[in-house]
Amino acid sequence: MKVLIRADASSTIGAGHVMRCLTLAAALRKCHVEVTFACADLAGHIIDTVYASGFEVVSLHGLYPLDWQAEVQELQTKLDVVFDWLIVDHYQLDWEWERAIRHLARRIMVIDDLCNRRHDADILLDQNLCATPQLYQRWLSKSCRLLLGARFVLLRPEFAEFKVAIKPELTRIVVNFGAADPSRELFKVMDALQDCEQFTVDFIAGCSNSAWSELQQRVGLSPRWRLHQHIEHLAQFIAEADLFIGAAGSSSWERALIGLPSICIAVADNQVKPAQVMQDRGMHVYLGESRAVSAKVIQQHLLALTLTQRQSLSTTSIAAIDAHGVERVVAALMQFELQIRLATNADAQLIFDARNAPEVRRHSMKTAVIEWDSHCLWLERQLVNTDSLLLIGSAFDGEVGVVRFDRCDQSAAEVSIYLLSKRLGLGWGQFLLKNATDYLRQQWPTIKSIKAKIKKDNLPSIKLFSCHGYQCDGAYYVHSL
């Protein structure tokens, strides 16, 4: 499987687009996907970082404003491969560029958080809490799949390894406004903290920050201030802090996952609404847009922050997000490649382990552990039963789950389905059920209805089957083909 990612970084737009795409690329690589980046050679680019992460880069002419037609021609010249997916994370590209580049990729995923332009996409990802299907309805075709909200946040795995311990006294603060900080927010925070000698402060200035020398001079005036350009283990570093002050961008999710209380400022228009929603949900303190936030305002909110508030911010943030967003996005990309095949004797161990997993047994009609000898006898009978279809769903990176159809009569069948443990909670169920049902239609064309027996407390299965048109009818959920 081959994926092309189109994203840029510069001293003006920052590094956020490329960095979140690097997180996705690393997760795809673990699934043996070949990933290539296409990045413009702009002032403040981080193409070296992409190379250092082990990915190939197609370097494009650094023209801003971007000429999408010229870029399409350049990509056509430099690429001689048809990719399985093109992932585009770029505010200056829309449906015209996407449509023109279609011949280079079988499918397109757009990463967006502006919701202000039309797209020609198969999947659209917007990880903001304020994203809704209604907002995107006018910009997308009905066939485009939406990945919206916190379930799909692209976070590096390292941030799942740490949780902040909320201490009685607030002593250490981390300050970061991204790779470039063109509006000089770091200096504003320095002004706010210059009389607050009780705090140890770590200022992080990104590689695109043009005021590095000036920042060094300013930090040198306080013995409790430190300046960093690159933090090797960022998750651990910020998890040891008591408070964060910085931009209300995509890194807000990193801080939320580890439970670090934050005071945030919007430094770009696309940060305003998401930051406000996160404040409304009690996840951080939002001060407003940078042009309206003074050093005095920052100081006032900092000194007014209580232990109870910090505890609440931390607890609420942790509850709002998990660490599996990037896995769900990878699954969404790979689900289009899901294949259905008949089970064989070689699948005996796979089916045995999957069926005996605690989370599967809990929702099964028979919850007891199945013995190996009994399982082998059952499988032997099942494979020769002409009134049963025992199916395995497989993706590019391995097996996904098991589906069984049992014929009730010439026009009706009963279905059961379960996923492998590592696939749970990532969205695989809906594609497995759909593709298995398509397989059933080909093999048993006379079947006109399917029923599923589901426990009342099995909410994930009820949701899955309901989304596929199954309706509750007594003891079963029934779907007409």
pLDDT tens track, the chain, 481 positions: 999 999 999 988 888 899 999 999 999 999 999 999 999 999 889 999 999 999 999 999 988 888 999 999 999 999 999 999 999 999 999 999 999 999 999 999 999 999 999 999 999 999 999 999 999 999 999 999 999 999 999 999 999 999 999 999 999 999 999 888 989 999 999 999 999 999 999 999 987 788 999 999 999 999 999 999 989 899 999 999 999 999 998 899 999 999 999 999 999 988 999 999 999 999 999 999 999 999 999 999 999 999 999 999 999 999 999 999 999 999 999 998 899 999 999 999 999 999 999 999 999 999 999 999 999 999 999 999 999 999 999 998 899 999 999 999 999 999 999 999 999 999 999 999 999 999 999 999 999 999 999 999 999 999 999 999 999 998 899 999 9
Contacting residues for 300 by C-beta, under 8 A, at least 6 apart: none
- Residue 207 pLDDT: 75
Domains with residue ranges and CATH for the chain: 2-155 (3.40.50.11190), 158-319 (3.40.50.2000), 338-480 (3.40.630.30)
Q: Which of 138, 195, 200 is nearest to 173 (CA)?
A: 200
- Residue 285 pLDDT: 98
List phi, psi (to 5°) of 415. -120, 145
- Residue 65 pLDDT: 84
- Residue 11 pLDDT: 84
- Residue 15 pLDDT: 87
* Residue 180, SS3 per DSSP: coil
Question: 233 is written with which tokens?
Answer: 């283990």
- How many angstroms separate the Cα of 327 from the Cα of each of 27, 111, 192, 331? 7, 15, 40, 6
Q: Which of 79, 78, 16 is nearest to 44 (CA)?
A: 16
- How many angstroms separate the Cα of 460 from the Cα of each of 114, 202, 335? 31, 44, 18
